[in-house]
Structure 1
Amino acid sequence: MTERPSWRHARAIAAAAGASAVLPPELIALDRAVGRRIAADLVTPIDLPHFASAAMDGWLVVGDGPWELVTIELPAPGQARAIVTGAHVPAPTDPGVQLAVLRSESGVVEAGVLRSTVADEPRPGHHIRLPATEAERGELLIAAGTRLNPAHVALAAATGTDALAVQAAPTVALVFTGDEVIESGLPTAGRVRDSFGVQFPALIGMLGGRVVGASRVPDHHDETVAALRDARADVIVTTGGTGGSSADHVRAALLALGARLLVDGVAMRPGGPTRIAELPDGRLVVALPGNPLAAMVAAITLVEPLIAGLAGREPIPPRVMRGPAVEGRAGSTVLAPYSEVDGRAVVATWRGAAMLRGLAGATGILVVPPEGVREGEGAESLPVPWLVAPHSAVEN
């Protein structure tokens, strides 16, 4: 077996594998667009607002008061009509005539005549929203690559847009392996509770993918081959079966299907047995270890750049965190869950390959090089996706 690539190299391979098969954007209705990344600039085809309107309930008044109440659309000078917030304010035929809106609470009507009860109201143009005060036609409103929030979607609707082109959400099929796994109740000796099926669909969504299927297979070669062969998705993510024992069949199953191993293990702890492969038909496979922490840190740090590449975006960039000294491991990158306290990393106590307690309370994953990190020295880190969820809210 060839030397395992470094974590950094494996991450670059994952990103490149996705980018080599980038998926086209999807056109989706506005009510499904929140949380997705817009694929092209949104330029408004109209002024915002596109017509003059009342900003208050009250009366549209023309010229100086008092004003005679009328019901016509455009009163003459010295006249007024009732108006509600958002109603159209017509342009005066004489540009020298001033229009305004007198608020309901600032006027009184007696014998069909409206008078202002406030000395300085209304001023010319008062409480009238003019066209193009928010944006002019042709102005950029949302830049390509922006993750859409509810206000973005509402803004798009205001421009008359019904659907938006968004970056693809790669489809993901999950294949869980393991004879020892039970799905409910208390595990007996030799059995373990399933820790993947209950959370991996949500985790994949946070990483930018969309889970379209999940299956469970026993530790058996033929059934593992069948599960990988039959999974219909852009990406197949497996858990377990990546070791070298007689119960581990994922690597052999990939080779039996003619897969090309892009990453055949990674020089990292935990998660070293992680593999990335490409099937002959172009589907990508990320085979994660069976230990819970190992699988999750591998997914967060290696599945995310692969999905990002498929979607046509850059992976989440690491940032530098400072903290206490952390011992390295010769020849391997150590991935350590940590909590951020006063701008410094506090590495979790519980970070064994099978432990989830440290990750559950973590704000990020510290990337510790083989030589370790000295006290106060900076180290790269990646956020846990449930705190930032940069690509989540993808419809499932």
Structure 2
Amino acid sequence: MFTFFKVKKVAEVLEEITKFPMLPEESLGLKEALGRYLAKDILAKEDLPPFSRATMDGYAVYARDTFGARESEPVILKIKGEIAMGEVPSFSLASGEAARIATGGMLPEGADAVVMLEYTEEEKGIIEVKRPVAPYENVIFKGEDFEKGTIVFPAGIKITPAVIGVLSGLGITQVEVGQRPKVGILSTGDELVLPEKELPLGKIRDINSYTLYSASLESGAIPTLYGIVPDVKEKLFVKVEKAIQENDVLLISGGSSVGTRDFTLEAISRLPEAELICHGVAVKPGKPTILGQVGSKAIFGLPGQVASALLIFYIMVRPLLLHMQGAKGEHLFLRKIMAYAARNIPSTPGREDYVRVKLSFSEKGVIALPILKKSGLISSMAEAHGFLRIPENSEGIYEGELAEVFLLP
């Protein structure tokens, strides 16, 4: 049997999370890869763009020829030819020459800029340039995005639409990504009923299972609901044993505090290879959180209060799920900004406080207004834009003071 109250700090738990093994890799086509995490560095196998090209309709020129041009004294250049889209120029430019070019057209040798069409006037094979251009103006050069052989994206980043655009531009249509973790979710408690059932007096509907299911799905995992387990020791153990065999991570909501009917810790301890990482985290809300390891798999005992359970999910469970998929560094965590506190927010030294906040904007910057509701009220999470973090050794945040805010997905 485990020892109770193996309390850890948030940073210590996050360090333990990164020790869990990542899931195996799989190869996906670009159309299936959105939202996944690269398992390997991506190298550019060619330059992007593959040639220097115009970004405006106009005339390809040697920029130095246009210096001093103005409406009253235009520069006169001879038109050497025209460059059609998708064609390789059959000529080069000498000083004093220009070539018609469309957006996306390949720059001829000798040109280093493009004069926009509206700043020119053409007549009988010559153009008047009425405004100068600087070298490289209105041009994207060969390899300006990515040079052949360089690392385009490192392993561990999330594949976004822009990333897919780059990969397709480089002719890369298959990528190696980490597999999605399977997450089992079950709720404990005699007071719970399924959301679709009639609600007898004294009972409450199971909110946590569906909340955690959605949060897991949003984190790239494959969640499965295992229903409600009554406060019966053997029934809980049987369900836990089945769920951990079928999943990479198990989330048990409720039953994580000390009490005669709280059997989560005992159920975990009976599993082969079980190891307790923490029983309690120095955080508010969510102190009675449990984290155990069974071989390569993780079991979280989450608080029964829905806001506490969801907070712990975002600051601990979500990083684990992303780590298992291959995410690294800043990609493991919620995006963070700095915001000014709208009022004094007291705290108790010795723990990290995460306060649900609404965000607004002022001339000063982003303003964080605390949502002062109890952790059992789901409305506080539905209204929140993020969590304001109060460090463990602080007595609070003063009105007008800058503080870290983690933005909800």
Aligned to 1:256: 270
Superposition pairs for residues 200-239 of structure 1, below 5 Å? 200-206=212-218, 208-219=219-230, 220-231=232-243, 232-239=246-253
Contact kept? 1:102, 1:116, Cα under 8 Å: no
Sort the Cα spacing of 1:10 and 1:262 in 2 relative to 1 into closer, same or farther, 3 A: farther
Of 362, 385, 396, the residue aligned with 2:408 is 385
Counterpart-to-counterpart distance in 1, 2:269 and 2:158 = 38
SS at match of 1:198: helix
Structure 1 residue 285 corresponds to structure 2 residue 299: yes
1:303 CA drift (Å): 1.2
> Given the alignment, which residue of 171, 178, 181 partners 1:170?
181
Aligned equivalent of 1:360: 382
Match of 1:142 in 2: 153
Summarize deviations over 1:184-221 as a string: whole Å, max 9, x none: 26634222222233332331244x44124221132132
Alignment of 1:1-396 (within 5 A): 2-6=4-8, 9-50=9-50, 85=85, 87-89=86-88, 91=90, 100-101=99-100, 119=127, 132=143, 134-179=145-190, 180-184=192-196, 187-206=199-218, 208-219=219-230, 220-231=232-243, 232-258=246-272, 259-279=274-294, 281-310=295-324, 311=326, 313-314=328-329, 315-316=332-333, 322-323=340-341, 324-329=343-348, 332-341=351-360, 342-350=365-373, 352-368=374-390, 369=392, 372-376=395-399, 381-386=404-409
Separation in 1, partners of 2:315, 2:82: 64
Say if 1:338 and 1:365, in contact at 8 Å, map to a contact too: yes
Distance of aligned partners of 1:116 and 1:226 in 2 relative to their CA distance in 1, 3 Å threshold = farther
- TM-score between the two structures when normalised by the length of structure 1: 0.72
What's the counterpart of residue 61 of structure 2?
none
* Contact kept in structure 1, 2:353 and 2:389, CA below 8 Å: yes
Give secondary structure in 2 for the equivalent of 1:355.
Answer: coil
1:235-285 Cα shifts (integer Å, max 9, x gaps): 111212223345432222111214211111224332222100011x32111
Provide the rounded CA distance (Å) in 1 between the counterparts of 2:46 and 2:251.
Answer: 45
Residue identity (%): 20
CA shift for structure 1 position 35? 2.5
Q: Which amino acid aligns with 1:260?
A: E
The residue aligned with 2:135 is none
Shift of 1:328: 2.7
Is the contact made by 1:362 and 1:384 (CA closer than 8 Å) also made in structure 2? Answer: no
SS at match of 2:239: helix
Is the CA contact 1:336–1:348 (under 8 Å) kept in the aligned structure 2?
yes
Q: Mark the CA change 1:379 to 1:209 in structure 2 (over 3 Å): closer, same or farther.
A: farther
In structure 2, distance between residues paired with 1:326 and 1:128? 52
TM-score w.r.t. length of structure 2: 0.70
Gaps of 5+ in 2: 58-78, 103-116, 118-122, 130-137
Structure 1 spans left out of the alignment, 5+ residues:
58-77, 107-114, 122-126, 387-396
Paired with 1:80 and 1:331, the residues of 2 have a C-alpha distance of 75
Q: Distance in 2 between matches of 1:214 and 1:137?
A: 47
Q: Is the 8 A contact 1:23 1:168 kept in 2?
A: yes
